[in-house]
Structure 1
């Protein structure tokens, strides 16, 4: 959707295929900022090659946006572009939308709090996805039963094998976070240490740098899937580096996908003022 929107406005729209999604082999390292950035950079390079084969030259400046997981990925990609990872491409502006920028201090505490305003069913899905991913990347537990209550522990490996989507997986999970996690693992999520702390550090920190381009963050205080405290945390991190990002809050009545439907056209219009 985003690539079509931007391409229709005259941009070269590039939408990355993250590892393990689409036709890619293996599992998807959900929320792993490093692989999100590398996959995005790889496709930008591929797009430049394809454009060249059609006699077109893409300008080096890249305007970056993304929604939800893509918001985190947008900040991660912006950092590697500004860091000179590619000799030709350079960062033009950043406009992430409703990203989970701070799992440790914002998203996970909200997901574990039934009074936070987050939807329990989607929190169950996101937590399950993240925990199974972290185990595959970092080896967090010897058995899923260390993290998940039965009967769900026995289902996790198959549910998150990369073949199903939310509509297929969610009905096979509990509707409440309290029915998903063992008490010990819940406490570990709230007070991470060791390998779990490393996993969260690798996911977090995408706002902990100093962009030298315009930054605008979109979100909604009424978001029921990604806590708005994530956006606030990102703003604090950027300000600590001397950056003054613009912030657009769509308000308490806006839902998660509302921020995408309104935020993407907003980012498009804003990018147009920066050309």
Structure 2
């Protein structure tokens, strides 16, 4: 069973050849963690000994550190105006079932003499993309073995170095969080986590040696899973009466149900080799999140997974183990689907070669068959712009993915949804169908396809031009711009981050 949500992170590599840099410049211009704090404050309360400043960089130091991710990062984001203090904030939040737990976030505070770096400043609440690395800590940009360093480099360059205060949650289940799983794409939990990180960061800002404060402007953004979390957070804040200045969710799977429902299409499981190992990891992460949230997908994991591997699946991810070792060491099965699948008998010999024995396959064929039967028996109009979720699924896994589809509201504050129509990891239909739903219900949210031609008086000419320049630079260097890593993880990400900041600058 595939999942469209990207596991690949924005590489922040910007390691294109020298000629590519010239093109860009010419085209675009310048473990259990701490115990839950038992204070009455509850959710959003700072944990003891928080915040902790991990690194303090002046303007020159910011430039030096960010250049470690490739000189193109600053060529696109602009020269730093501010130094940055990197703080880790640890706080109380909840897990998928509302259970008390902890999480951590990066708090990036601009410093320096430039007027943009002092006084009250706008806040950016930033969500990162999906990750399998439990140690992810975006407050620690100095540790290049930490995946969080690459994740935070972009908001550091785009926002903090230009005067915005950045709050970037690591999410429950990562870094020092007490949670032993991650509530991936559980919209209610992820919005609470983001909101709790913001509350804790605001408390921390007032407790710094040199206190700082926001100026009343709050921007929400993020990429991939972070785009999904940003939209879910906007929805939750609007429902709670919290003012959002503007949001810019990027390349997220907002229409959560569309790819899962497509699994009922005849032939969808004929080529299990199309289900990459990373998409299988993603699926395990997701099934655990659904089970923890709703408790009704299965009585025991062996109902969903093959019995040989079932017992380990709930605690496998996120992990501190190298992913490439999981299959060779027998911690993860070598095959996705087994020969017990109903479609197996009618396959060609070559197709059958991609199916394993039940003991060496991930999915329990009987459970998967019941999910597919429910899709056939209780169809959902998931591409409808008016009522895409108007259906009554009987299967609990289907109910879980439909519950986390974000087409249930309309944003009142300005919103820009950004992505690319050729994205091989997150289908642009997520943004297109969500935008259509918003329009059908009276919202003025905007939709940007960075993989489209620049038009006359185009307000998004800059990110579109940037996207095209990076694609051409990749081609010129002999690379393939259509891969997941290049398209979703690099081209669309860079262009959408630029579009988001340009969008926020209007408010």
Normalising by structure 1, what TM-score? 0.83
Q: Residue 184 of structure 1 aligns with which residue? A: 366
3-state SS in 2 of match to 1:243? coil
Which of 183, 186, 195 is equivalent to 2:396?
A: 195
Q: Secondary structure at the match of 1:55?
A: coil
The DSSP-based 3-state class of the residue aligned with 2:169 is coil
Shift of 1:105: 2.0
Equivalent-residue separation in structure 2 for 1:95 and 1:217 (angstroms): 6
> Secondary structure in 1 aligned to 2:417?
strand
Q: Secondary structure at the match of 2:244?
A: strand
Farther off after superposition, 40-49 or 102-111? 102-111
Partner of 1:149: 306
- Counterpart contact for 1:19–1:28, Cα < 8 Å: yes
What is aligned with 1:204?
405
Contact 2:411 2:445 in 1 (8 A): no
Equivalence for 2:227: 71
Q: Tell me what 2:33 maps to.
A: none
Equivalent residue for 1:13? 166
The alignment yields a C-alpha RMSD, in angstroms, of: 3.0
CA-to-partner distance for each residue in 1:136-181, whole Å, 9 max, x for gaps?
2222112222212354434313413x43478357645457643532
- The answer as to 2:251 corresponding to 1:98 is yes
Deviation at 1:242, TM superposition (A): 1.4
Deviations 1:20-67 (A, max 9, x none): 221111222111111111111112122222223333221222111111
1:146, 1:182 within 8 Å by CA — same for their partners in 2?
yes
Structure with the greater alpha carbon radius of gyration: 2
Partner of 1:248: helix, strand, or coil? strand
Structure 1's unaligned 5+ residue stretches are none
Tell me the TM-score normalized by structure 2.
Answer: 0.48
- Distance across 2 between alignment mates of 1:73 and 1:247: 18
Residue 489 of structure 2 corresponds to: 257
Which moves more between the two structures, 255-264 or 192-201? 192-201
Pairs within 5 Å for 1:1-275: 1=152, 2-5=154-157, 6-26=159-179, 27-53=181-207, 54-86=210-242, 90-107=243-260, 109=262, 113=268, 120-139=276-295, 140-149=297-306, 151-160=308-317, 162-164=318-320, 167=323, 171=327, 172-173=331-332, 177-178=336-337, 179-190=361-372, 191=375, 192-205=393-406, 207-251=407-451, 253=482, 255-258=487-490, 259-272=492-505, 274-275=506-507
What SS is found at the alignment partner of 2:168?
A: coil
Contact 1:123 1:225 in 2 (8 A): no
C-alpha contact 2:230 2:249 (8 A) present in aligned 1? yes
Is the CA contact (8 Å cut-off) linking 2:221 and 2:247 kept in structure 1? yes
2:247–2:414 Cα contact (<8 Å) kept: yes
Unpaired runs of at least 5, structure 2 = 1-151, 338-360, 376-392, 452-480
How many correspondences in the alignment?
A: 269
**Higher-RCO chain (CA-CA 8 Å, sequence separation at least 6):** 1
Residues in 1 aligned to 2:432 and 2:333: alpha-carbon distance in whole angstroms: 30
Conserved? CA contact 2:182–2:285, under 8 Å: no
Counterparts of 1:225 and 1:237, CA distance in 2 = 22
State the SS of the aligned residue for 1:13. Answer: strand
Work out whether residues 111 and 120 of structure 1, in 8 Å CA contact, stay in contact via their aligned partners in 2.
no
Q: 1:9 and 1:166, CA in 2 relative to 1: closer, same or farther beyond 3 A?
A: farther
